[in-house]
Each structure stands twice: as structure tokens, then as C-alpha cells.
């Protein structure tokens, strides 16, 4: 298993620290996917930031949206999730020191070098691969935090929609670890592969065959599934609305929202993630969470990965290896 001693000693560290540009996957409107390679200015780390030499990065559905939504400007690097080696520690002395292996959650993660606030990184223990660590942040944080805020625990019935995807698989495992009964909803029987091993008590196709009320919903699909999930939610329950991959409107029948109190809560990942990232990598180190990497390859093949994610052919996560480390 790679650790910081056997990872090539920060290839060209000195050059990497001083070079004024860095290769990145950027918003590129001339490309079909709106994503392409470019050179961006090497980020300058602030006093509370570290400079990381990225080795692996994970693609999220959010990146596909960010490439087109205008949230990330044209020419700016995409990405949120990465793992690598600290090239330069924070000058205020906080956070992991130079040469540490870290996972990070930050805008612009699809770049060879990323400056990130120490509040958004965690050290990766020996025994956890950097590829597995990179697969954690966006999806793992959404699953962990939404389940926590919904009050997951023993005896709760948890419905996870889009359970074959990044957020979904982590939510299945984390809910099961908390002692909940987990119903995993997927688009087709084949998309349910591995979910029983990940912790699902039931795997259902769409929303068919769910007859008993649920206490918590981790909802990533939106549209009709959101409406049906709301109907299935028991009094006192919590529906966490995390994503909307269906891109369909949700049309509630009249009076659907009238009755004994239950909540529909919107969710967004905040960047202050160090403690939760540390918890996630610890769970991986213990073998309690096993990141499912359904697509793994060089970032030179990002178009292939984007197609696979869009085409719902990825089980769990897409992880890129940056070419300088291939
Ligand atoms: N709010 C936040 O902070 C936050 C954080 C993370 C993710 N998200 C959002 O949560 C959603 C899921 O993210 P993810 O990273 O888990 O995505 P993902 O890995 O692509 O998984 C999404 C799953 O949704 C299902 N799905 C159902 N209808 C779909 C459709 N029309 N198109 C594509 N997929 C469809 C697919 O399962 P089947 O093929 O089995 O149907 C797929 O496995 C996205 O909308 C993302 O933007 C939000």
C-alpha cells in the first residue's frame, strides 16, 4: 500500500513549488463536455493554507453541473475532491506538514497543485490509498452529514434514492453502520450490484415495492422520486434533499404537505470539512467504509469518465489519476 514514504518523493517538488503555472481541467466551452485541459496560475497559498501536489481526484455529478452552470467561470479549474502530498505546509504552522498524505475538499481540485485551507483537509492514514481517499469528500460528506442531521440511529428505517451513485453508496453504508434498516433504491436490478454487501437490507427498483413508511430519506434524484419519498416519510421523519439527477420537476398532489409534522430539508456541503473528512478516512482505515471506485483511469481520459457518469454506468465513484503520477 502506498504511503508517503513510497510515493515518489513529490516529483519535482522544488520545481512544483516555484512554477508559475499548473495543468488543470478547466471550464472550456469549446469542448462537448464543456471541460478541457488548460494551464492556470499556480495558486498562492495563504497563511492558513497548504499547497498540495494532487495525485488523484474524483469526479462528481456536481462537476458536470459546474462545467455548465456558470458557477465556475470559463477558464477556471473544476473539481472538488482530491488527494495528494503536501508540498508546502501552512505558514501559520496549522494543519498537516510538508510531505503529509492528505485528502482535500476545495474548489479547483482538478489541478496538479491546489492551495487549500487547512479547515478543508484531513491526513490520510497509512493503509488507506490516496485513490480511495480522493473518492470520499463530496459524496461522503453529503451522506455523513445529511444522515447525522436527520438523526440516523438504531431502529430507523432509511430510504436512499440513487443508491448506486456516489452519495447513495456511502449513505447506504453509513446508515447501516449506524444501525438503521436500509432500503436502497436503484434504476435497474443491475445497478443494485454490491449494495447488499455495502449494507442495504432491501434493494428496490425505482420506488416500487416500498410499502412501509420510512423515518429518513437521503434523496438525490428529485422529480417523481422526491414526491414518492415524501409520501413514504413517516410523521416526525426527515427527507434530506441533496441532489436532483433526474432534472424532472416534482409535482406534489394537493394537500401532500398537510398533516402530521415531518420535514423536507435542503442540503449543501459546507467547506469546513476537516473533522468529517478525518472521520471518513478513519472509517476507511478501519474497513467499515469501502469506497467503491467504478471508474478509475488517467485524467487524460476524462471525457470517457464524464460519459460513463452521465450515462449512469458508474457504480460508486469515478477517480482520476493525474498524468504526472501515472
Ligand atoms: N447538495 C450537495 O452538497 C450535494 C453533494 C453531493 C451530491 N449532490 C447532488 O446529488 C446528486 C447525486 O450525486 P452523485 O455524485 O451521487 O451522482 P452519481 O454518482 O452520478 O449518482 C447519481 C445516481 O442517481 C441515479 N439517477 C436517477 N435518475 C438519474 C438521471 N436521470 N440521470 C442520472 N442519474 C440518475 C443514478 O442511479 P441509477 O442509474 O441506479 O438510477 C445514479 O447512480 C447530484 O444531483 C449531485 O449534484 C449534492
pLDDT digits (tens, 9 = 90+) for 71-108: 999 999 999 999 999 999 999 999 999 999 999 999 99
- Which residue range(s) make up the domain with 115? 10-135+291-321
Ligand 1 is surrounded, with C-beta below 6 A, by: 60-62, 65, 138-139, 142, 162, 164-168, 186-187, 191, 220-221, 242-246, 267-269, 309, 312
Cell of residue 129, nine digits: 490509498
Same domain flag for 50 and 67: yes
Is residue 284 domain-resident? no
Question: How do residues 237-283 score in pLDDT, each as one tens digit?
Answer: 999 999 999 999 999 999 999 999 999 999 999 989 999 999 999 99
Q: What is the Cα–Cα distance from 25 to 38, expressed in whole angstroms?
A: 6
Q: 132 C-alpha vs ligand 1 centroid, how far in Å? A: 19
In this prediction, residue 325 carries a pLDDT of: 58
Strand partners, 191: none
The residue whose CA is least distant from atom 35 of ligand 1 is: 245
With a pLDDT cut of 90, the percent of the chain lying above it is: 91
CATH value at residue 201: 3.40.50.720
Closest ligand 1 atom to Cα of 60: 15
Q: Is the pLDDT score of 4 beyond 60?
A: no
Which of 266, 283, 309 is the C-terminal boundary of a domain? 266
Assign 16 a pLDDT band (cuts: 50, 70, 90): low
pTM above 0.85, yes or no: yes
User: In this structure, is residue 281 part of a structural domain?
Assistant: no
Identify which of 112, 111, 134, 137 has the alpha carbon closest to the alpha carbon of residue 26: 111
Using DSSP's 3-state secondary structure scheme, residue 207 falls into coil
C-alpha cell at 239: 427527507
* Closest residue to atom 47 of ligand 1, CA basis: 62
Same domain for 143 and 260?
Answer: yes
Domain count across the chain:
2
Q: Say yes or no: 252 and 143 in one domain.
A: yes
Q: Are residues 192 and 256 in the same domain?
A: yes
Does 164 fall in a domain?
Answer: yes
Residue with cell string 491546489 = 114
CA of 66 to the centre of ligand 1 (A): 14
C-alpha dihedral sign at 68, 69, 75, 77? negative
Q: For residues 117 and 169, what is the distance between their CA atoms, to the nearest angstrom?
A: 28
Residue 117 sits in the same domain as residue 145:
no
Answer whether residue 145 is part of any domain: yes
Indicate whether 295 and 210 sit together in one domain. no
Q: Indicate the Cα dihedral angle 285, 291, 297, 303, nearest 10°.
A: -140
Task: For residue 77, list its beta bridge partners.
Answer: 26
CA of 97 from ligand 1 middle (Å) equals: 35
| In a shared domain, residues 79 and 169 | no
> Which residues pair with residue 94 across a beta bridge?
none
Separation of alpha carbons 276 and 174, rounded Å? 13
Indicate if 106 and 147 belong to the same structural domain. Answer: no
We report the CATH number of the domain holding residue 296 as 3.90.180.10
Residue 192 lies in a domain: yes
Residues 117 and 75 in one domain: yes
Instruction: Write out the DSSP string of 77-113.
Output: B--SEEEEEEEE--TTS-SPPTT-EEEEE-TT-SBSE
- Neighbouring CB atoms inside 10 A of 74's CB total 13
* Strands 21-27 vs 35-41: parallel, antiparallel or unpaired: antiparallel
What pLDDT is recorded for position 161? Answer: 98
C-beta separation of 40 from 76 below 8 A: yes
Residue range 56-81, pLDDT digits in tens: 999 999 999 999 999 999 999 999 99
Q: Ligand 1: distance of its center to the CA of 138 in Å?
A: 12
Give a yes or no: residue 147 inside a domain.
yes
Separation of CA 245 and ligand 1 centre (Å)? 5
Residue 120 and residue 273 in contact, taking contact as beta carbons nearer than 8 Å: yes
Q: Is there a single domain that holds both residue 182 and residue 161?
A: yes
How distant is the alpha carbon of residue 125 from its chain centre? Answer: 19
149 and 125 in a common domain:
no
Q: How many CB atoms lie within 10 A of CB 159?
A: 30
Q: Is the pLDDT of residue 215 over 90?
A: yes
What number of other Cβ atoms are within 10 A of residue 130's Cβ?
A: 25
Ligand 1: nearest atom to the Cα of 221: 27
| CA of 315 relative to ligand 1 center, distance in Å | 11
In this structure, the answer to whether residues 25 and 95 fall within a common structural domain is yes
User: Does residue 218 form part of some domain?
Assistant: yes
> Which of 50, 197, 199 has the alpha carbon at shortest distance from 114?
50
- Residue 17 in any domain: the answer is yes
Residue 249 half-sphere exposure, CB side, CA atoms within 13 Å? 3
Angle of the 61-69 helix axis to the 302-310 helix axis, nearest 10: 100
Amino acid at each position: 500500500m502506498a504511503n508517503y514514504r513510497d510515493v515518489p518523493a513529490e516529483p519535482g517538488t522544488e520545481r512544483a513549488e516555484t512554477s508559475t503555472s499548473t495543468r488543470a481541467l478547466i471550464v472550456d466551452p469549446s469542448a462537448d463536455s464543456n471541460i478541457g485541459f488548460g494551464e492556470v496560475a499556480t495558486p498562492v497559498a495563504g497563511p492558513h493554507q497548504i499547497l498540495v501536489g494532487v495525485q488523484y481526484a474524483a469526479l462528481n455529478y456536481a462537476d458536470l453541473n459546474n462545467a455548465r452552470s456558470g458557477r465556475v467561470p470559463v477558464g477556471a479549474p473544476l473539481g472538488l475532491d482530491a488527494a495528494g502530498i503536501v508540498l508546502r505546509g501552512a505558514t501559520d504552522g496549522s494543519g498537516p506538514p510538508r510531505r503529509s498524505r492528505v485528502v482535500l475538499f476545495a474548489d479547483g481540485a482538478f489541478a496538479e497543485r491546489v492551495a487549500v485551507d487547512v479547515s478543508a483537509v484531513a491526513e490520510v492514514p497509512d493503509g488507506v490509498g490516496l485513490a480511495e481517499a480522493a473518492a470520499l469528500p463530496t459524496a461522503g460528506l453529503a451522506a455523513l452529514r445529511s444522515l447525522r442531521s436527520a438523526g440516523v440511529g438504531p431502529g430507523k428505517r432509511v430510504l436512499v434514492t440513487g443508491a448506486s451513485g456516489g452519495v447513495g453508496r456511502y449513505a447506504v453504508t453509513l446508515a447501516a453502520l449506524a444501525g438503521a434498516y436500509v432500503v436502497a433504491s436503484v434504476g435497474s436490478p443491475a445497478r443494485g450490484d454490491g449494495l447488499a454487501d455495502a449494507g442495504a437490507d432491501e434493494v428496490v427498483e425505482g420506488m416500487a415495492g416500498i410499502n412501509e413508511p420510512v423515518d429518513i430519506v437521503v434523496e438525490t434524484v428529485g422529480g417523481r422520486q422526491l414526491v414518492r419519498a415524501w409520501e413514504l416519510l413517516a410523521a416526525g421523519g426527515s427527507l434530506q434533499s441533496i441532489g436532483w439527477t433526474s432534472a424532472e420537476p416534482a409535482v406534489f398532489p394537493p394537500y401532500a404537505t398537510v398533516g402530521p409534522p415531518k420535514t423536507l430539508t435542503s442540503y449543501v456541503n459546507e467547506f469546513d470539512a476537516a473533522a468529517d473528512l478525518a472521520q471518513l478516512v478513519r472509517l476507511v482505515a478501519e474497513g467499515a467504509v469501502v469506497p467503491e471506485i467504478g471508474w478509475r483511469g488517467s485524467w487524460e481520459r476524462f471525457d470517457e469518465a464524464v460519459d460513463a457518469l452521465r450515462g449512469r454506468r458508474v457504480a460508486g465513484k469515478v477517480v482520476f489519476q493525474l498524468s504526472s503520477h501515472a
